[in-house]
A and B are shown apart, each in its own frame.
Chain A
């Protein structure tokens, strides 16, 4: 039982990062129907900026954190603007474009950071305490709390503010929203900027736990995408839960079963969850379509 609880804690801590990435991907997908694969590049770049500001400039960690998130937001906005201008193109092409941006940002990150493995300092400091079989670090708690806070605040904004109401209107019917005077472009860019900021934050939180490695963030994005797909790419709550579920699966499978699974099976389990999510999402979309007619 103690092992299970420990594995669960590890998985939840990891999964909230996936969930945050999934949240941003759902946000950008719903407003433009494009799977935003630029999130990984933005995460890597935001994390690089955080590392650069904190380790090279000596800026306070909080300032560096905001710097990384802000740069992520700016990059997200630029990507959102490019997405607007490519609106008449096939969505698949635009998705590939976002992937290209990720690879470009990876290359850029490689120019910024040293060629060897570096680990940015955690914004939540060092240390922690023992619980069950595992040692829970302040970084894990901080990561969990930050992700939950961001998700809750975003949810509140979406549900309780006029900005959120207009965004939800665009999600439902962009044409209908624009014909009552809502400037789609501003909101698309804005939402992509928020998603970019989330990616930047996810990048900082992920890399400060392990190391600044752009490929690592590519896979954080993949698991985030898996979580988003688990939520049908439409539901924020399900996407976040999906991301957390993947982290929990990874934590439990890795922690409890260890090497018994054999090479690659931990990843395979996550892929299987994603496949189930795809099937579920298909059903869900038909359900919504039925409701809307």
Chain B
């Protein structure tokens, strides 16, 4: 009799595991909005505080309101995205499960292989491309919300909430030319295979993808070119900067390493350094890049420590670093092993004379209390955006908008959200700036919103986020100069007046050339 219970237990456990691993696995649609004047080609938005502003890229031949379906303006020799013209993407299907406009009011979205319908003579909105109807534009986001082992919930949930808040904010002001924005999300659980399935499912339903956390972005490039799908991405992988269909909204680790190494070399003048890096390709590449940069200044790397994210103990690495005794230590690694290292180094009351210089991982405002006393006065990190902290006065307009929008439409205040989750301010900032700038990116297109025109618009203009970053994606290779994140920011952990944790902005700001 009991063996039946045992079988049931096993099956239940297995099922629970499967559910936990899949996280539901389904795409979910969020759509909000109220009536309003809306953003449009005429501009005239009344954002308070100031919303990101856009301006035409110098030398661009494409005008802001262009509805041209021609190939993107060729201002260099880099390969351009294949111009889809008026053809719908291969294999495209009508949006399933999305709100359908009343019959007769607007044309239906184009079926696979069929040309886009011609714009109505009246200039009214119409289903101009995949994911676009007369009164809505649907975006997609693929994240790893259920990947508990990869901090999926804590990384993805804030990003998703903030993206939804940004779209709601836009919708409450009338959307874009009367079209409300919707978000379809799909949880890949941190699994690339599932992520590809998410992509295949969403590509026929969404107009474009917005930044979210997924390891899909490094493996999807051929599909994007084939499907002509614009993908605004989280900027984790270097490959996102060379794919003409990807528009990264955050600096990648290799460039962070280069900029940070240059800054430390020029401003702190260490003679020797140690480097700790996570044993993954991106961080190994960051280590190599920093080493190369440092060598140009005659700085010797006296110790390299390869970290594993699952390391049960880092005390032996502390010992190894102590023996090497570098002037400074660079860290291009993951939070968990670094926290262990800091904890043990703190226990040994040891730190390099010039401190630790880290990638963006250590700069999250929520990390201070989590990482403990040792991080204060010992560690500084580089990050893409200005940090939105209460002590930062005056608060940058982009961060002020981010705080207000998040608080009003997600129920969280930014600091609370990040102090609670202690992760990901920079990537949720990335999601926010690319979402909140959509009216400037799409509004000028008028009624004829197409993927091609959207990508042309992104490449032809630049967008001031108000967070110290001007987004720009030069045509072709989006990582070429002028790169969005040429300028980054370095913050050092210090003790706040009340004895807590505070981040001090170090100057000059590092530049990547």
Q: Which residues of A contact B (CB under 8 A)?
A: 3, 6-7, 10-11, 13-14, 17, 82, 85-86, 88, 97, 100-101, 103-104, 106-107, 110, 115-119, 126, 128, 133-135, 137, 139, 206, 209-211, 213, 215-216, 218-220, 223, 250-259, 261-264, 266-267
Contacts and interface: CB of A to CB of B under 8 A. Distances in A.
A220 B347 contact: no
B115 to A, nearest CB: 48
Given A3-B319, A116-B370, A253-B316, 19 more contacts: A10-B316, A14-B312, A82-B6, A85-B6, A86-B6, A100-B17, A104-B16, A116-B154, A117-B371, A126-B347, A133-B319, A135-B348, A206-B312, A210-B314, A210-B340, A215-B309, A223-B312, A255-B316, A255-B320
Contacts of B10: 97, 100
A78 B154 CA distance: 32
A258 B2 contact: no
B20 to A, nearest CB: 5
Contacts of A220: 312
Nearest to A17: B312
Interface in B322-350: 322-324, 335-336, 339-340, 343-344, 347-350
A162 B211 CA distance: 65
Interface of B: 2-3, 5-6, 9-10, 13-14, 16-17, 20, 148-149, 151, 153-154, 275, 279, 284, 303-306, 308-317, 319-324, 335-336, 339-340, 343-344, 347-350, 366, 370-372, 421-423
B159 to A, nearest CB: 14
20 contacts: A7-B319, A97-B13, A104-B13, A104-B16, A107-B17, A115-B151, A116-B421, A116-B422, A117-B339, A117-B371, A117-B422, A126-B347, A133-B322, A215-B310, A250-B313, A252-B316, A254-B320, A258-B324, A259-B306, A263-B284
Contact of B305 (A88, A106, A134, A258): A258
Nearest to B4: A85
Contact of B347 (A137, A206, A251): A137
B304 A259 contact: yes
Given A110-B148, A258-B317, A259-B320, A213 B336 contact: yes
A115 B348 contact: no
A104 B148 CA distance: 12
A259 B305 contact: yes
A211 B336 contact: yes
A120 B16 CA distance: 28
Contacts of B153: 115
Nearest to A215: B310
A267 B316 CA distance: 13
A215 B13 contact: no
B257 to A, nearest CB: 16
Contacts of B9: 82
A10 B315 contact: yes
Contacts of B17: 100, 103-104, 107
A115 B313 contact: no
A251 to B, nearest CB: 5
A134 B349 CA distance: 10
B441 to A, nearest CB: 33
CB-CB nearest 6 A-B residue pairs: A254-B316, A259-B304, A258-B320, A135-B348, A116-B422, A255-B316
Name which of A11, A137, A206, A254 has the most chain B CB atoms within 10 A of its CB.
A254
A14 B315 contact: yes
Contact of A211 (B3, B304, B321, B339): B339
Contacts of B335: 117
